[in-house]
A and B are shown apart, each in its own frame.
Chain A
């Protein structure tokens, strides 16, 4: 049982490049989330998808887009990467319990 799987684990981009972080969960969860974590700080919500077919902005959505491809998959896209987007990105999902999130292992992104 893999839980929440994120790819890639590491990525280095140049300013202005684009990329997509992929996330998939195999727990049949309804809700999925993208958070970012910066040094010395807690996690901040970028976007979330309460259920398949819906997406909403979180606390720090600027510079990002998301797609809930199906119930299992929720991707995060950076259209034009900036150094301020250097961070560790975590995907998470929640099911019947609602608020208890299960997190992936993270994707470390560096923008030069």
Chain B
């Protein structure tokens, strides 16, 4: 999950394992959630999104689960690869019916994949 301060949560896995990255969000009115991946020296890159009327969505090797009851979001990465090593951010949006996004980001989780 997310933490306060300069020490980001970290997750270390072996290549081929499945990874689960957790995120607790704060705004019960948020209606859209996104996971981003950020590699060192680069901007965040979109991975997968989910709307608040869903509880699960699958992509290629990734699955996002949403539990609105406890305001919890998770990203599951199947068969994790060294190229998956990065910082992963969850972001929430309370669009309020607008057509643009003012995302609020979590502090991130560092994923390290060992060959």
* Most chain A CB inside 10 Å of its own CB: which residue of B49, B89, B102: B102
Query: Complex Cα distance A48/B106, Å?
Result: 19
The 8 A CB mask of A38-52 against B (1 = contact, 0 = none) is: 011111110010110
Asked if A2 is an interface residue, CB under 8 A from chain B, the answer is no
Asked if residues B108 and A30 are in contact (CB atoms below 8 Å), the reply is: no
Q: Are A101 and B101 in contact (CB under 8 A)?
A: yes
Contacts of B99 in A (CB 8 A): 30-31, 50, 98
Of the residues A31, A42, A45, contact of B108 by C-beta under 8 Å: A42
* In the complex, A85 has a CB within 8 A of chain B: no
- Which of A12-20, A63-71, A75-83, A102-110 makes up part of the contact surface? A102-110
Enumerate chain A residues within 8 angstroms of B106, measured Cβ to Cβ.
42
Measured between beta carbons, the chain A residues less than 8 angstroms from B91 are 42
